[in-house]
Structure 1
Amino acid sequence: MSLPGSPRLPYDRLPAGLRAAIDAVLGSPVVAVSARTGGFSPGPAAVVTSADGRRAFVKAVGTPLNPDTPRLLRAEALVMAGLPASLPVPPLRAHVEWADGPDEWVALAFEAFDGDSAPLPWTPQAAAAVVDGLTELARAATPCPVPDLPTLGERVDGPLSAWAELAAEPPSDLHPWEAESLEWLGAVPDRLAAGGWLGGDTLVHGDLRADNLLFGADASVAFVDWAWAVRGADWVDTVLFALDAATQGGVDPEWLVGRSPLVAAAEPRQVTDLVVAMTGMWARSMRRPPPPGLPTLRSFQRAFHDTALAWSMRRVAAGLV
């Protein structure tokens, strides 16, 4: 199984001016490119080798490919500027802004990581290694080292409205459990608000899945793509990752979070409500037209919705509400 994602523009099809700007910040012209797949950006991602022999991971995108993705790269650059070197995150070398008339382009260059993409499909052993890495990451990133980062409550305001929107005009193809539970599902924002919005002072990645993870030769795990980072509860990333491991490997998410001391210390009903909220977010998103340059995104979201729905039903049936 290959990493999920959308088709990416080849590196050599970036505008020549942008490639020259990347050469300049790397300090030596790029002479070799090894493309990387996975991730939902229409722009290129590649490990490049410069004439001086140094390697870097470079990703870039412009408004002609997708009008929203440049904003995400800028957000990631701001987060990276605040991360301490002690965290298992490849350092950012350079942030490039380049324009051609009304077209805006952004590129980020990182130190190349000596390792490989996540091994898909997930196995219990590989997924458990990620959970262990997330436990160490959360402890090292508490208190949150990035100043002025939004809280999880501020970031999830939009996704939490999904069930209310679906309840106002229920789609005909809702799962029967969803259709029968819309009132309870729509109250998830009130329940999360009453519990403090999953608050905390931990750096939360917020987008944990296989294409945002790297495995080192020493079995270490590195975490990349920090555009959605927030401050929140220390267990949130583990629950989000469990959804990925279940969707892209069939690993039992309940078994996986059961390995985490962070999730074990969390309020079970809050864990359930996070899974319910994610189910609603994907239930709404998967029914929308695909965004520009991202033709595979909606089918990916549908797969995650189905996993999150099954896990939500299971936790509700077990009384974890």
Structure 2
Amino acid sequence: MESAVTQTGGFSPGVAARVRLVDGRRVFVKAVGPEPNPEAPDLHRAEARITAALPTAAPVPPLLMALDLEGWVVLAFEDVDGKMPAQPWQLDEFHRVLAAAAELSVLLDPSPIEAPTIADRFGENFQGWRRLSAASAEGADDLAWLDPWARRNLGRLADREAAWIAAAAGSALIHGDLRADNVLLTDHHVMVVDWPWAAVGAPWFDIVAMGPSVIMQGAPDAMNLLDQHLFARGADPEEVTTVLIAMAGFFLHHSVQAPPPGLPTVRAFQRAQGEAALLWVRERTHWR
């Protein structure tokens, strides 16, 4: 190794670096051990399995090596000479990412690899509104921190959330965690990285999942452009709203839990996404 530059962004507690080898080649290396977050190595193992199995036509950096040794997992990918989308989002970059996500969903439908269903992947997590409702009923949380509109509509949100698994079902391989920090823009391509959460579900799921972060990060006219994109792809509006409600509940419920080991900033990020998702839910439902 000749040099290494640490890369910022994302929420992994491990190492992420762009490395120049002595022969001039460049690779991207990520590594994590069982401390401080014992779940992190399994995510790297999942990413290795999924990335290695993706079709070569997918805009994903190839996996060059995976090493699993004494609890540590090290992955080496082909380095991409790209950049993350600007923050706040620029309109042209937003359109590029939306178009790339649409193309990727076509390429990966039906899923070319074995992966968990979206219900198996997220079923335990997407019960936020029901858990908040139960905590309120039990007197464990007065929900004073929650937006008054959400408190007024808590029962409706919990009821609608319960239908999200059927709404999100499908045959496409979805990324499951599409955000600006998992995208690299090159001169000619939009590369999608970090695939440990991949699952099989509705081909439009990633756009709904990305929406709250895009709204939070100031993409121009974000909700309207997201809605137009989903409509153009033929996504059922009621199913989209159902999944979005479940997503908002996930973010908001998790935002008030203790932070995971080694991830002290993730709860604030989830709160911001939850509040952005709630704005989009209100826009779509028109509930009072």
Category of TM-score, reference length = shorter chain: over 0.9
Shift in Å at residue 236 of structure 1? 0.9
Q: Does 1:300 align with 2:269?
A: yes
**Which residue in the other structure is 1:167 paired with?**
133
SS of residue matched to 1:245: helix
Q: Does 1:53 align with 2:24?
A: yes
Q: Percent identity?
A: 39
Distance 1:164 1:269 in 2: 19
Q: Which runs of 5+ in 1 are unaligned?
A: 1-29
Letter aligned with residue 131 of structure 2 = E
TM-score (norm: length of structure 2): 0.93
Among candidates 231, 234, 250, match of residue 203 of structure 2? 234
Distance 2:231 2:67 in 1: 37
> 8 Å contact 1:57–1:111 — kept in the other structure?
yes
Shift in Å at residue 318 of structure 1? 7.7
Distance 2:232 2:152 in 1: 29
Letter aligned with residue 71 of structure 1 = D
> 8 Å contact 1:245–1:251 — kept in the other structure?
no
Distance 2:240 2:179 in 1: 18
**Which residue in the other structure is 1:204 paired with?**
174
Among candidates 58, 82, 91, match of residue 115 of structure 1? 82
Letter aligned with residue 277 of structure 2 = A
Letter aligned with residue 115 of structure 1 = G
CA deviation vs aligned residue, 1:95-133 (integer Å, no higher than 9, x gap): 11121xxxx211111001121222221122211110000
Q: Residues 251, 277 of structure 1: CA spacing in aligned structure 2 closer, same or farther, 3 A cutoff?
A: farther
CA deviation vs aligned residue, 1:247-293 (integer Å, no higher than 9, x gap): 11243333222442666411111111111111111111110122211
Q: Which moved more, 1:68-77 or 1:258-267?
A: 258-267
**Which residue in the other structure is 1:8 paired with?**
none
> 8 Å contact 2:231–2:237 — kept in the other structure?
no
Q: Does 1:225 align with 2:191?
A: no
**Which residue in the other structure is 2:183 paired with?**
213
**Which residue in the other structure is 1:142 paired with?**
109
CA deviation vs aligned residue, 1:64-103 (integer Å, no higher than 9, x gap): 231111111011111112101100000001111121xxxx
Distance 2:85 2:168 in 1: 28
**Which residue in the other structure is 2:65 paired with?**
94
Shift in Å at residue 215 of structure 1? 0.3
Letter aligned with residue 164 of structure 1 = R
Distance 1:36 1:154 in 2: 31
SS of residue matched to 2:177: coil
Shift in Å at residue 295 of structure 1? 1.3
TM-score (norm: length of structure 1): 0.84
Q: Residues 299, 190 of structure 1: CA spacing in aligned structure 2 closer, same or farther, 3 A cutoff?
A: closer
Letter aligned with residue 73 of structure 1 = H
Distance 1:78 1:248 in 2: 31
SS of residue matched to 2:2: strand
**Which residue in the other structure is 1:126 paired with?**
93
> 8 Å contact 2:211–2:277 — kept in the other structure?
no
**Which residue in the other structure is 2:140 paired with?**
none
Distance 1:68 1:200 in 2: 27
Q: Which moved more, 1:202-211 or 1:59-68?
A: 59-68
Q: Residues 90, 237 of structure 1: CA spacing in aligned structure 2 closer, same or farther, 3 A cutoff?
A: same
Distance 1:265 1:214 in 2: 27
Q: Which moved more, 1:170-179 or 1:184-193?
A: 184-193
**Which residue in the other structure is 2:245 paired with?**
276
Distance 1:284 1:304 in 2: 11
> 8 Å contact 1:60–1:105 — kept in the other structure?
yes
> 8 Å contact 2:7–2:18 — kept in the other structure?
yes
Shift in Å at residue 184 of structure 1? 1.2
RMSD: 1.7
CA deviation vs aligned residue, 1:2-29 (integer Å, no higher than 9, x gap): xxxxxxxxxxxxxxxxxxxxxxxxxxxx
Q: Which moved more, 1:251-260 or 1:237-246?
A: 251-260
How many pairs were matched up?
Answer: 282
